[in-house]
Every structure is written in structure tokens, then in C-alpha cells.
Amino acid sequence: MSRTVPTASEFVRIEIEASVATIRIDRPKMNPLSIEVQDALGEAARLVSADDEVAAVVLYGGEKVFAAGADIKEMQRMSYTDMVQRAAVIQECFSAVARIPKPVVAAIEGYALGAGNELALCADFRVAAEDAKLGQPEILLGVIPGAGGTQRLARLVGPSRAKDLVFTGRQIDAAEAREMGMVDEVVPSGQAYARALEMVQRYVHGPAFALRAAKEAIDRGLDNDLETGLAIEAMQFAGVFATKDREIGMTSFVKEGPGKASFEGR
């Protein structure tokens, strides 16, 4: 049975079905990520993180556009001091999405530009329609990415490619994004959401705490040196030995061989 979880904004809602939560942006016409929407995305991330029914998450902006960027008219009115106060909040909202302790896939149709692309970068995986357009065009407005674009993009595709996109503000198509590693799969137009749902199904009945531990070890490890990353991995590896799923998985392997365990998510 499906259910909808409202957020503080009418433009962001959570739809949960079969243990998969879709965080849906729906702000006509191009899903501009206003302050209201940014805050609601952070709220949605915290809600799905805390919901034990949710095993995986899809970020989706609809059939026509993922999100074409921040609300420029709103930003135009903001002063330096306004943005000093707001910039950290924007980043925290997006980081809440990146920290969802469950597998997250962004389903990209149409434009994913500026803050829209930065939101997609917060996912673990990205699937894009073949006619999608991605990029960080902030430089064309005389500013730079401010919701993680200079950091997450460089970590994903390397500093030279990130600098090319950030310095020029150019838009790239899904094929180029796939070639440089910004997106993981390219599908026919209109199929991104269906493919994202298909991708997350493999995690629905998985060992939830092991998946959580793996995500945290990888993400936190990448932000540190190798020695620190290995220490994080060791801690997470030892921690999952306290879970019921570890007992189920190893018992099943010994008795029946690999890949036959029925995990309980605890």
C-alpha cells in the first residue's frame, strides 16, 4: 500500500510504496529550488532517513525537468549578509540528502542545472534520460556553485573536468555526463524514473544496517586520508557483527551457499 508524506512545502512531497520513498519536486514550470523548496528537501531527507519502512530512495522532478536551478529572482534580492546566513543552511539541506543512510538514486529528466545538478550529486547513483542536460551555469551569473557543486562534482569526476564545467558554465548532454562519470546510466526519454525504481529494488530486502555501514564507510572515507578511511571501515565492519542480518547471512551461506539469505533489516 502506498502513502504520501507531506512536507512543509506544497512543492515537495514524499511518496512511499513497497519500501521505496520517492522525494518528488513539483514546482512549475522548471522546479526552481527556492528557499522554501531547499528547506523542504532537507526535511524530506530527515523524514525518510528516520522511517524504518523506507529501504531506498529516489529523487525525482517529474517527466519534464529534474530541477533547472535555484530561484534566481529570489536570489537577486539577497545581499551579501543575507547569503552569509543562508549559504550554510543551503549546504546543510543538501547534505541531509547526501547523508540519507540508505541507497539513493536520482532520476533525471530534462534539465539538472545549478542547484538541480548539485542535488543530483547528493545521490549515490544517477540515471539520466538521453535528452537530459546537466551543468553548473552559476559562473554565467557572476557567482559560483554554492550547494556543494565545487566539492561533490570534483570528487566525482576529478578536478579538471569539474573546473571545465564550473569555469565555463556549459551544459552537457547525458552521453557526455555518462562518459565523465557524472551519471551512471542513460536511458530513453521518459524512462529515468522507471529505471531508478528498478535499480533500488535490489536493496529493498537487503541487510539495511550493512548497506548503511557501507555507505558511511565509503562517503566518510573519501573525505579523509587512506589510513583514516581504513579505520572508519574497520569500525563499521566490526559494528555489523552486532546485527541479526549478519547472523542470517553467514548461517545461510554455510548451509545453502551465497545469495540465498532472507534478511530482516535488523
**Other C-beta atoms within 10 Å of 194: how many?**
13
Residues 6+ apart with CB under 8 A from 51: 5, 16, 21
**Rounded-to-integer distance, Cα 27 and Cα 41, Å:** 13
Supply 47's cell numbers. 523524514
CA distance between the termini of the chain? 22
Give the catalytic positions in this structure.
118, 138
Supply 205's cell numbers. 530486502
Q: Is 54 left (phi over 0), alpha (psi -120 to 50) or beta?
A: beta
CB 215 within 8 A of CB 124: yes
**Other C-beta atoms within 10 Å of 216: how many?**
17
CB 33 within 8 A of CB 117: no
The CA–CA distances, whole Å, from 55 to 155, 182, 187 equal 26, 24, 24
Supply 117's cell numbers. 545538478
Supply 116's cell numbers. 538541480
